Structure 1
Amino acid sequence: MQKELAVDYFDRHPSSNECHITSDGRVFHTIGSAQGFASALKNNTIESFKREEIDVKNIDVNDPNHVTGDTGNGGIGDDDEKAQAIEALRNFDASKAEYPEIKALVKALGLGTPTLKQPDLLAALEIAKANLEPKA
């Protein structure tokens, strides 16, 4: 599976010559970023790949069974869950929210944050909320 993630990564990043994949399947440009993220995981192993080691043409990326890794949608599988998360974001009030609620909403929306600290989570939610509202 890690090799398939590397193939997908190299397909989407033609200028990159290496990638590093953590045990949970996240792909990083640099080893330092991967090590930093992996240090918070139970299994902190990292598998590194170089473009020349991977036969990119071997795997059909149009195969519906092909796993492409984190798509950024946070695992939201059906439209109802996504609609609920978006509605929760519309009604979100940072001044009244507590950390577990904030963290759950960030996860439900699949938002990326540099850390899991409350200020980073709140910043991601505020940006997402601003992007929901129509531009006047």
Structure 2
Amino acid sequence: MKKFFKYIISFVIGVGIGNLIELFISMLLGKLMVGVPEFVNSQSSLLNAKIIETILYGGFGIVANFLGGKITYENLSKNTIIHFLGMVIYFSITGLYLKWFASISSLIIPLVSFTLIYALIWYIIYRTEKMEVQKINKKLNEINKE
């Protein structure tokens, strides 16, 4: 039940991030964008398009959580690469389905952007975890000195 709750939270986080990105793009364009017009027009209704987008945005959170749960600190590099590749595959498939890219060749710039954002997030999480380990080690050293 605890794992199920974590996946629900991950889904909600994915939806939130996806909708924030959509809002940011709308602000940049100066008009409300519910999705790429080619995708929205291919659906039976705007509501149907938004439901599909929401489910796929949530999928980012679920995929990240699932793959993140497989990461061990024994081989952080290997596990990070596996996590990254899983996220890139999900990003690419979702982007093609939602018509974010006109073709596979038009994936290059979005993949570079995705990679840079992924690296930034990874670095922030890594530094946060490293600082937490340092705090724990400091407390353990203080206990051992007593």
**TM-score (ref. length: structure 1):** 0.32
Higher-Rg member (1/2): 2
Bigger helix share:
2
Kindly indicate which of the two structures has a greater share of residues assigned to strand. 1
User: What's the TM-score, normalizing by structure 2?
Assistant: 0.31
